[in-house]
């Protein structure tokens, strides 16, 4: 199901620690607003982290970025 290009993304454009943290909280079902409050960030900053992670993991939406991050072992 996952090709070599997916693995290459992991090494060529890894997620930053903050992007991983935001994706992990999204995986727990937290909204953008909840993540922002927990991390003391603006909603816009959280959206920027999610957008960057979405692009890096070749995802189309928030659910897919979480699924891809789990498959890659970036989050649990």
CATH number, domain at 29? Answer: 1.10.10.10
Over residues 8-24, the mean pLDDT reads 81
| Global confidence as pTM | 0.83
Over residues 33-59, the mean pLDDT reads 97
* 6 assigned to some structural domain: no
* 5 assigned to some structural domain: no
**What are the DSSP calls for the chain, one per residue?**
---HHHHHHHHHSPPPHHHHHHHHHHHTT--HHHHHHHHT--HHHHHHHHHHHHHHTT-SSHHHHHHHHHHTTS--
* 39 assigned to some structural domain: yes
User: What dihedral angle (degrees, nearest 10) is formed by the CA atoms of 64, 65, 69, 74?
Assistant: -160
Look at residue 58 and tell me whether its pLDDT is greater than 80: yes
Number of domains in the chain: 1
* 7 assigned to some structural domain: no
Distance, CA of 6 to CA of 47 (rounded, Å): 23
Over residues 42-63, the mean pLDDT reads 97
Q: Which domain holds residue 25?
A: 16-71
């Amino acid at each position: 199901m996952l090709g070599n290009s997916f693995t290459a993304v992991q090494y060529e454009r890894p997620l930053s620690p903050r992007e991983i943290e935001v994706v992990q909280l999204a995986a727990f079902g937290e909204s953008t607003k909840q993540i922002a409050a927990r991390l003391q960030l603006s909603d816009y900053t959280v959206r920027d982290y999610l957008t960057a992670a979405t692009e890096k993991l070749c995802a189309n939406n928030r659910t897919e970025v979480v699924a891809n991050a789990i498959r890659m072992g970036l989050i649990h």
